[in-house]
Structure formats: structure tokens, C-alpha cells
Amino acid sequence: MPLYPDFEYPVRDVIVNAHTAALASFAAPGTWWNAAQRRAIVTEARDARCGAGLQEPLDSDLSRNVTDASLPKAAREVARQVAISTNDLDQSFFDQAIADGLTDTEYTETVGVVARASALDVFARGIGVPSRALPTPQGGEPSRQRPASAQNEGAWVQSIPGGRRGGQEAIDTYGSDNPQAAPFVYRALSLVPEEVKGQIRNATAQYIRLEEFMNPEFTLDPSITRPQVELVAARVSVINQCFY
């Protein structure tokens, strides 16, 4: 069944496939959270966004009985804050989450899940359809594998360097041993490589492949040019007070 049958125009297959994979990942075991906990993270984020007037509620997602009780309060608070007000966050927010009991890897996975879920929900709102329902949580345990090459690169959490410094883990995570394949917008989540892979999948489907980043003639959709894409992106960033 198509993911967006209620939209009057066709959505490109690459976007549908990326969004379908993302939704499935929210109800599957992750690296540090199990499936029910990951689904609960999305539910908390959606609840916060609906409360802030950023999206319309889905009763199935906002029902408290679908929020897994094993998700720590600290993770819930991170999910809710990241979902509605990232421009207000500073290192004290991260430090408090760690003091409240989260590990740096749990924090990173929570941020990654919220970021990807919010992107899908914004897309749905943009085309005028409800957010897509979440699947039933799957069984299984988190892999709990911390990347050996992760190191301090000046961020709040460790990250996998791009290129030779990251070794095979960089290739596995970013899909290339070229340092330019690992901009910090991806490296920021690389303490949990699966979240990076999900981000790259969505960005490639919705925006641009990194190898085409410096090509002003490239566009995924012939109805909008690359300069027009960047103009829209810049304006949205200003409106959202993006500090990147």
C-alpha cells in the first residue's frame, strides 16, 4: 500500500522508500533502545509538537498506553525538548541529561530518532496529510555496539571522524572514505552509526547526494532549480533561528 495515498499528487519513490524505512526503524530495536522505547521516543516528540501547535495530533500516537514505561524520564524530556526547541539548547542541557542518568549513546540515539521523526512529520504537514501512524514494536534487543573509532572532535559527544582517521567504521557509516562525505551535520550523530545512515538516506532522497553538493546545476526535481532550493532552505533556516 502506498505510504501517501491521501495526497493528490505522486510522491517520488525514493522518498516513499526512505520514509517507509524510517517508520519501520522507529518500531525496531536500535543500538541502545529497544523497539518499544524507540516508538515511545517518537510518541513523546509528537506529543510535544502537537502541544506546541506544530502538527495535528494522531490519537493512536498520543494515547498514553502506547508509551513504553521503561523509557527513562530523562529520555522523555530530551525527546520533547529536541522536538520543539532545538535553538534553545546548549551544553548544559546535555550535561543535565547525563546527570539525570542517560549515557552519551542513549542521548545521541534519542536525538537521532526525534530528528528523523520530526522530518517525516514536517513533510506530511507540508503536503497536507496527517503524520503517518507508527508500526507495532518488534521484538529483539538493542545491539549495544559503541564505535571503536569514536573520539572527541569538539562536540558534546564523541564522533567517528571522516576519512582515514575513521577507518572502516567511517566507510561503513558514511558510505565513503572521503572526509568530505562526513560533514559534521552527519558526524554529530555518529556515536550511533545507524542513526547517521538513516539521516543520510532521508537527506539523499529529499535534498541532495553529497557528491553533487557543489554542483549548482543538480536538482532532484526538474520543477525547482538548485539555487531555488537553497533560497528556500536559507529562508526556512532564518525563520527557525537555525544556529548551525
pTM, rounded to two decimals: 0.92
CA atoms within a 13 Å half-sphere pointing along the CA-CB vector of 100: 16
Mean predicted confidence (pLDDT) in 10-20: 96
User: Residue 59: pLDDT band by 50, 70, 90 thresholds?
Assistant: low
Q: What is the pLDDT of residue 17?
A: 97
Q: What is the pLDDT of residue 222?
A: 87
Mean predicted confidence (pLDDT) in 208-220: 87
Grid cell, residue 163, equals 576519512
Q: What is the pLDDT of residue 65?
A: 43
**Position 209 pLDDT exceeds 50:** yes
Mean predicted confidence (pLDDT) in 36-45: 97
Q: What is the pLDDT of residue 62?
A: 47
Of 126, 132, 113, 121, the closest CA to residue 232 belongs to 126
**Position 119 pLDDT exceeds 90:** yes
User: In sequence order, what are the residues at sequence separation of 6 or more whose Cβ sits closer than 8 angstroms to the Cβ of residue 132?
Assistant: 3, 19, 23, 120, 124
Mean predicted confidence (pLDDT) in 160-167: 95
Q: Where are the domains of the chain?
A: 10-145, 215-244
Q: What is the pLDDT of residue 168?
A: 97
CB atoms within 10 A of CB 115: 19
Mean predicted confidence (pLDDT) in 123-133: 95
The letter for the amino acid at 157 is: V
Q: What is the pLDDT of residue 243?
A: 66
Mean predicted confidence (pLDDT) in 83-95: 91
